[in-house]
Amino acid sequence: MLTLFHSPLSSASRFIRLVLGEYNISTQLIVEHEWARRHEFLALNPAGHVPVLLAEQEVPLSGAIVIYEYLDETHGSLRQENKLFPENPLDRGEVRRLNDWFLNKFENEATRHIVRERIYKREMPLTIGGGAPDSQILRNARANIAPHMNYLNWLCASRDCLVGSKLSYADLAAAATISVLDFLGEIDWDQSPAAKDWYMRIKSRPSFRPLLTDRIRGIVASPHYADLDF
């Protein structure tokens, strides 16, 4: 069985859990706190980030982009149907662009800071930066959510899925990111009706179920988080 080192509120980890779910690959999950910089984990991935997948022969694959390309090559591309990459190389380029947008750009401009200020800093020792949230950082990160949601809403208004009419890795990457912010009650859904319709569809997939039942110590999810019809 494969092993995934992940963190429940990491968008990149959630994305890989969704891909594993879509491919019905059963995986042992191990929670890793990046901020703890555990030696054994740094030996697997010197960059210190989740997710890390222990693949065949226990070889570590580090980072969401590396892992999903590997899972596509070893599982996705072998499928007859319901592939998560479109056939056309230009469309695959668009999927990869959106994956980077949601897993890196959106993450670095908003999600990462909100998770760190609101959640991680409560658990981290003071000596490594733990403590009360920095309200200025939170304010800046929150201000960055709206333009990203407008962009997602615009994408969802013009197409069934983010790239064309079929589910792709881009839908899973975007939904993973959104699910973290939705868990924390940071999304104003009234402003993004097309994105809301799209997210309800992705959230109803069986691969999403484990994410909706995640329990995180000391945190209560936003009231509608696990509702499939919210």
What residues make contact with a second copy under the rule CB under 8 A? 46-47, 55-57, 59, 61-63, 65-67, 69-70, 73-74, 89-90, 92-93, 96-97, 100-101, 104-105, 151
Shortest Å, Cβ 95 to a second copy:
9
Task: Rank residues 97 and 224 by Cβ distance to a second copy and give the closer one.
Answer: 97
DSSP letters, the chain, are -EEEEE-TT-HHHHHHHHHHHHTT--EEEEE--GGG--HHHHHH-TT-PSPEEE-GGG-EEESHHHHHHHHHHHTGGG-SS--SS-SSHHHHHHHHHHHHIIIIIIIIIIIHHHHIIIIIHHHS-GGGT-SS--HHHHHHHHHHHHHHHHHHHHHHHH-SSSSTTS--HHHHHHHHHHHHHHHTT---GGG-HHHHHHHHHHHTSGGGHHHHT---TT-PPPTTTT-S--
Shortest Å, Cβ 45 to a second copy:
8
Task: Rank residues 20 and 67 by Cβ distance to a second copy and give the closer one.
Answer: 67
Task: Rank residues 151 and 230 by Cβ distance to a second copy and give the closer one.
Answer: 151
- Confirm if 17 and 213 have CB atoms less than 8 A apart: no
Shortest Å, Cβ 77 to a second copy:
10
Shortest Å, Cβ 152 to a second copy:
12
Q: Greatest CA span in the chain, whole angstroms?
A: 53
Task: Rank residues 155 and 211 by Cβ distance to a second copy and give the closer one.
Answer: 155
Task: Rank residues 1 and 132 by Cβ distance to a second copy and give the closer one.
Answer: 1
Task: Rank residues 95 and 202 by Cβ distance to a second copy and give the closer one.
Answer: 95
Shortest Å, Cβ 141 to a second copy:
17
Shortest Å, Cβ 80 to a second copy:
20
